[in-house]
Structure 1
Amino acid sequence: MSKLYILASDLGSGSCKTVILNHSGQVVASAGAEYPTAYPYPGWVEQNPDDWYTAFAQTTRRVMAEAGITADQIALVGLVAVTHNTVLLDHQDRPLRPCILTFDQRSSEQCHQITARWGNQVQRQARNSVTPLWTWPQLLWVKDNEPEVWSRVKRILF
């Protein structure tokens, strides 16, 4: 069976959108699934990475069924996602905690610490100031505030 289709999925800040495109680039099927965002404290914004996986799996099954195709007909898979979302995994590759999203401001103090110590070097090399949306201060926040989680981190997904 020839591979004539593209599966593309966008894991956005509030939902997953998945489409099947034919060889001409026309949309053959589409599906979306929302996932919740938690705001546990002022300035904090989190999502459960398992919700992303569930939404991706659900929308993929739906578009495949709607298009009437099987996996062996997919020539290409394209994925995009919101940036600067870090997932901390344990030794069994399971998420250890909700993901701190780019909109989260809890790592402001860690930004000040980084800037005080390495600010000029960061500014020269990154051509940008350290902000809470960066992965570096988010990781420092977890290390400083959730040492029991930090001690169990085996892999970090960016």
Structure 2
Amino acid sequence: ATVGEPARRDTRAANRKLFTGSATTEDIFHMMDYDPVGGPSNPIAPQVEWLQEDQNGIEGALRLGLQYQGPPGRVHGGVIAWLLDAALSRALHAAFRLGVTGTLNIRYLAATPIEDSIHCRARITGQEGRKIFVEGGIWHGDTQTVSAEGIWLTPKSLG
């Protein structure tokens, strides 16, 4: 009852269009409505305030509650991976590019605190054929707690 009933979008149609090469920018944002990180119609999604979303990359601010805790006082490593997979993917969408995660490498550099303000950032660093290279991370204040890099693959129908 607290979450309410958000308007439902037809994400299946948008997904089909994406992988046949006929998706529009509007279709991409219809898909993002239920995104597992930041999707406003997804009641389990950590809510992100997107501060930057453009061809230079993305930056989002968020606070993860106790439901995302792993070790005492710290964000669970799996939640970190989930967040970064979504953030790096969002960097592609912000640059009007499409791809699916091929690889995702994560380095845990320091503890990411629970119930405190953190930022995630990501940007595209290059492309070779269908492979799009993306990097990013999570920061707590000026301290980078996690770094990530990966390769996203453009669907063959678009390549």
Q: Larger radius of gyration, structure 1 or 2? A: 1
Q: TM > 0.5 between the two?
A: no
Higher relative contact order by CA 8 Å / sep ≥ 6: 1 or 2?
1
Which of the five TM-score ranges fits, normalised by the shorter chain? under 0.3
TM score, norm. by length of structure 1: 0.25
Instruction: From the two aligned structures, give the one with the greater helix fraction.
Output: 1
Instruction: From the two aligned structures, give the one with the greater strand fraction.
Output: 2
